[in-house]
């Protein structure tokens, strides 16, 4: 049975393999192996097998089953699925069954993909290690004593473990790319507005994007082409037609100028093995015909701080809807206000509470300009820095994260150390630009290192071309199980 999404789709489309067999095999892998990993919060075998049966029926009747025919998919549990519990990794939404499907879920199904379950994540996508999940931590499939990264840790681990060939995550500050890096998979964040956020439970609405995980660039590209595009249900969705990326993957690195971002590829926090792999990847790229130049994004020195004002500010407002009235958990009390308070106190975990308090403070009348306003100005400076850098380079590069996967428990008492894990990925969210993480080799202990590629808004075809070019010289990391 083929392992890649494109291999599965082509075998199912030609009738060589049945979608039901492919999906049943994926469910068996989860059943056998996920107790030790924790990548799925729940699977729904009956629904998935029924949907797979419909894909097989389409093939039998000569109808087009779609470009992802029979491909098993994991969905981060921040994406709504009609009638299927969606918790966002939080107790406050335990048991909540959304009344509608996210647009990306609908698009995947229309393309013949079969979602088999909801993947574990940090509560409301806030975190970098998946340890903020209210349900259970996720183990990195390449070393179970280590974190998979976060917040889309379950999606990254499910792909890295070989349970499903592709999964969706969400990325507000790095939550697709950082776990992809720590798990040795590909993880891609599209341009803000390129993929519909309808049905993505909002964390920070001006930063959130949905994107794919896969074991190689071609599979990520296939999923991107299916989920990208305008959606009238999301007011921030970009109306431009989508330029498919799958056709341009073999154009290579020859003639491309790669800009090494000085501020995102040096400094005290970067592990030597990460920088070694990064430099080795650049040397390979030069041999493959790329030109490498140094560029500077000086304002990124303030990007992390700006993010930790903007994201909590938006989260404090978005999470106000979880009040014990409309969704999930309700803790009874004598009056409405006491009920709100008791519900939120019991339903939210400590990191979510920290963000809501920080965000409320940053938005409060007396401090708005000093914090939120200032952070928005930094955001503009970051965008200007990127524009200047793209005058000199086609694609910007850095490591994805300063370190390889760290030990479970290592950073839970130190929020700043946890936040620093996203120092390289956050600037692309502030600018709204697309970016991707691919594997660029293993460090000393056999743990994966990620290479981060960034491109201007809507330059996904170029981004995927460069990523595929790197992958052609660097290879891919095989699934762990």
Per CB under 6 A, residues contacting ligand GLN are 125-128, 151, 170-175, 203, 311, 422
- Report the C-alpha gap between 314 and 311 in whole angstroms: 5
Nearest distance, CB of residue 205 and ligand GLN, angstroms: 12
| Known catalytic membership, residue 364 | no
Which one is catalytic: 151, 170, 237, 316? 151
Nearest distance, CB of residue 147 and ligand GLN, angstroms: 12
Among residues 277, 269, 243, the alpha carbon closest in space to that of 397 is found at 277
Among residues 238, 214, 248, 239, the alpha carbon closest in space to that of 68 is found at 214
Nearer to ligand GLN, 130 or 265 (CB): 130
Nearer to ligand GLN, 246 or 429 (CB): 429
| Cβ neighbours of residue 265 closer than 8 Å, sequence gap 6 or more | 275, 278, 397, 398, 399, 424
Nearer to ligand GLN, 173 or 461 (CB): 173
| Known catalytic membership, residue 206 | no
Peptide bond connecting 68 to the previous residue in cis, omega within 30 degrees of 0: no
Burial of residue 14, with CB atoms counted within 10 A of its CB: 0-12 exposed, 13-18 middle, 19 or more buried: exposed
| Known catalytic membership, residue 128 | no
Nearest distance, CB of residue 271 and ligand GLN, angstroms: 18
Q: How many CB atoms are located within 10 Å of the residue 288 CB? A: 15
Nearest distance, CB of residue 407 and ligand GLN, angstroms: 17
- Report the C-alpha gap between 259 and 300 in whole angstroms: 15
Asked whether the beta carbons of 112 and 55 are under 8 A apart, the reply is yes
Nearer to ligand GLN, 173 or 450 (CB): 173
Residue 115 three-state SS:
strand
Nearest distance, CB of residue 387 and ligand GLN, angstroms: 23
Nearer to ligand GLN, 187 or 469 (CB): 187
- Ramachandran category for residue 15: left, alpha or beta (phi over 0 → left; psi -120 to 50 → alpha): left
Nearer to ligand GLN, 66 or 149 (CB): 149
Q: In the bound complex, which residue of the shown chain has the CB atom lying closest to ligand GLN?
A: 175
Which one is catalytic: 129, 170, 175, 196? 175
Nearest distance, CB of residue 152 and ligand GLN, angstroms: 7
Nearest distance, CB of residue 128 and ligand GLN, angstroms: 4
Nearer to ligand GLN, 122 or 394 (CB): 122
Retrieve residue 340's tokens: 């709100």
**Residues 280, 282, 287, 292, Cα dihedral to 10°:** -150
Q: How many CB atoms are located within 10 Å of the residue 385 CB? A: 21
DSSP line for 134-199: SS----BTTBTTB---SSSHHHHHHHHTTS-SEEEEEESSSTTHHHHHHHT-EEEEPPTTTB--TT
Which neighbouring-strand residues pair with 228? 195
Which one is catalytic: 39, 76, 155, 316? 76
- Report the C-alpha gap between 458 and 452 in whole angstroms: 17
Nearer to ligand GLN, 44 or 224 (CB): 224
Nearer to ligand GLN, 154 or 441 (CB): 154
Q: Vertex 430, ends 93 and 440: CA angle to 5°?
A: 90
- Report the C-alpha gap between 170 and 176 in whole angstroms: 6
Nearest distance, CB of residue 355 and ligand GLN, angstroms: 8
Nearest distance, CB of residue 17 and ligand GLN, angstroms: 35
- Ramachandran category for residue 114: left, alpha or beta (phi over 0 → left; psi -120 to 50 → alpha): beta
Among residues 463, 453, 400, the alpha carbon closest in space to that of 249 is found at 463
Q: Would you name the residues annotated as active-site residues?
A: 76, 151, 175
């Amino acid at each position: 049975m083929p392992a890649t999404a494109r291999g599965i789709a082509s075998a199912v489309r030609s009738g060589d393999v049945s979608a039901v067999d492919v999906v049943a095999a994926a469910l068996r892998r989860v059943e056998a192996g996920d107790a030790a990993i924790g990548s799925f919060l729940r699977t729904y075998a009956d629904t998935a097998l029924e949907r797979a049966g419909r894909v097989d029926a389409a093939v039998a009747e000569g109808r087009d089953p779609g470009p992802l025919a029979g491909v098993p998919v994991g969905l981060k549990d921040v994406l709504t699925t009609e009638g299927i519990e969606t918790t966002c990794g939080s107790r406050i939404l335990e048991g909540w069954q959304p009344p509608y499907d996210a647009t990306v879920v609908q698009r995947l199904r229309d393309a013949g993909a079969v979602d088999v379950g909801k993947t574990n994540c940090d509560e409301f996508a806030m975190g970098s290690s998946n340890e903020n999940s209210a349900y259970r931590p996720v183990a990195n499939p390449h070393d179970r004593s280590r974190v998979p990264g976060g917040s889309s840790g379950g999606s990254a681990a499910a792909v890295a473990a070989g349970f499903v060939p592709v999964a969706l995550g969400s990325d507000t500050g790095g939550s697709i790319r950082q776990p992809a890096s720590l798990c040795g998979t590909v993880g891609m964040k599209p341009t803000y507005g390129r993929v519909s956020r309808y049905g993505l439970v909002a964390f920070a609405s001006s930063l959130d994007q949905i994107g794919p995980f896969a074991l190689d660039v071609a599979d990520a590209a296939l999923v991107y082409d299916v989920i990208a595009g305008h959606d009238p249900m999301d007011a921030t969705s970009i109306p431009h037609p989508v330029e498919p990326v799958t056709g341009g993957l073999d154009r290579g690195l020859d003639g491309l100028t790669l800009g090494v971002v000085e501020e995102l590829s040096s400094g005290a926090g970067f592990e030597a093995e990460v920088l070694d792999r990064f430099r080795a990847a650049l040397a390979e790229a030069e041999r493959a015909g790329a030109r490498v130049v140094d560029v500077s994004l000086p304002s990124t020195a303030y990007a992390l701080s700006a993010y930790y004002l903007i994201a909590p500010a938006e989260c404090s407002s978005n999470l106000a809807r979880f009040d014990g009235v409309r969704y999930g958990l309700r803790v009874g009390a004598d009056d409405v206000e006491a009920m709100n308070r008791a519900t939120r106190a019991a339903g939210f975990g400590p990191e979510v509470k920290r963000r809501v308090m920080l965000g409320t403070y940053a938005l409060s009348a007396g401090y708005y300009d000093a914090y939120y306003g200032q952070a928005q100005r930094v955001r503009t400076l970051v965008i200007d820095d990127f524009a200047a850098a793209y005058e000199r380079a086609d694609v910007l590069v850095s490591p994805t994260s300063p370190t390889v996967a760290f030990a479970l428990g290592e950073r839970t008492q130190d929020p700043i150390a946890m936040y620093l894990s996203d120092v390289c990925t956050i600037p692309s969210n502030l600018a709204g630009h697309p970016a991707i993480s691919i594997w660029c080799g293993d460090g000393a202990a056999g743990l994966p290192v990620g290479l981060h590629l960034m491109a201007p808004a809507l330059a996904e075809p170029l981004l995927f071309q460069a990523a595929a070019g790197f992958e052609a010289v660097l290879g891919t990391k095989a699934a762990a199980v």
